[in-house]
Amino acid sequence: MPAQPDFSTKIGRRTLDRLEAEKAIWLTTVAPDGTPQPNPVWFIWDGETVLVYSHRDAYRNRNLGQNQRIALNFDSSRGEADVNIITGSACFAPDEPPVTECPPYLAKYAEAITGELGTDAEHYAADYSVAIRITPERIRGF
């Protein structure tokens, strides 16, 4: 079983706060040629894992099929003293409900789906149909 991050430290508490409050997180997967591939994604934190709904055609799906090691990080627009990096593993989660049946995800993103993206939850769920469950193992930052 992978190690669990220590959220009791100063960096851990700040990371936990951001997992609970931030709208987007950068998910870095590894391409078959070994190149890191960072992409911003929407996510929900359930207290233990991160759930991402990936676009069905995203290269990150191929990458995760070959290498489950990932990194997550937040924008550091608050300054260099607010950097949080999470490393861990990811796996496809076909048993997760679609976006339209995931109340925490809809509560967080329904307004953005209709406003920013100009679509509805059903169309969004059809495009972002690949559920990915991420298990954090380590955190670091400064």
pLDDT-wise least confident of 25-29, 74-78, 120-124:
74-78
Say whether pLDDT at 15 is over 80. yes
* Strand partners for 36: 30
Domain that holds residue 76: 10-96+129-136
Assign 126 to helix, strand or coil: helix
Q: Is 114 part of a structural domain of the chain?
A: no
pLDDT of residue 64: 97
pLDDT of residue 12: 92
The pLDDT-based confidence of 80 (bands split at 50, 70, 90) is low
Q: Is 2 part of a structural domain of the chain?
A: no
* Domain total of the chain: 1
pLDDT of residue 106: 97
Distance (Å, whole) CA 142 – CA 128: 33
**Amino acid found at 62:** R
pLDDT of residue 75: 85
Render pLDDT for 88-102 as a digit per residue (tens, 0 to 9): 999 999 999 999 999
Q: Tell me the CB-side half-sphere exposure of residue 36, using CA atoms within 13 A.
A: 8
Distance (Å, whole) CA 91 – CA 135: 9
Residue 88 belongs to domain with CATH number? 2.30.110.10
pLDDT of residue 2: 62
Q: What is 12-74 written as a DSSP string?
A: HHHHHHHHHH-SEEEEEEE-TTS-EEEEEEE-EE-SS-EEEEE-TT-HHHHHHHH--EEEEE-
* Strand partners for 25: 41
- Work out the mean pLDDT of the chain and round it to a whole number: 94
